[in-house]
Amino acid sequence: MDEILNVMVPLAQQSDKGLAAIGLGIGAGLGTIGPGIGVGYIFGKVIESVTRQPEMREEITSIQWLGFALTEAIVFYAFIFGLIAFFLGGSG
């Protein structure tokens, strides 16, 4: 942890853009935690559902891909909002 701070603090002190870059990285990282958990949960439940009702495999799989796409969209929203805040943010 100290090594990370030793690299980040001088970068942040150079300019407000450095601070914004660090904020973008942290925001994008935090924005991917929830969807990552959600995707794992989706695929785990799909495996569980198919083992319980193998005859429903096709329908379950189609619903799985819809859930996966909607969950992954959250990652892209977090990334895009971070980029917007970075490039259109306050000072600069």
Domains assigned to the chain: 20-88 (1.20.20.10)
Residue 14 is predicted with a pLDDT of 65
Give residue-wise pLDDT tens across range 1-38. Answer: 677 777 767 766 666 677 777 777 787 888 888 888 98
What length is written for the chain?
92
Show the 3-state SS of 1-28.
Answer: CHHHHHHHHHHHHHCHHHHHHHHHHHHH
Average pLDDT over residues 62-78: 89
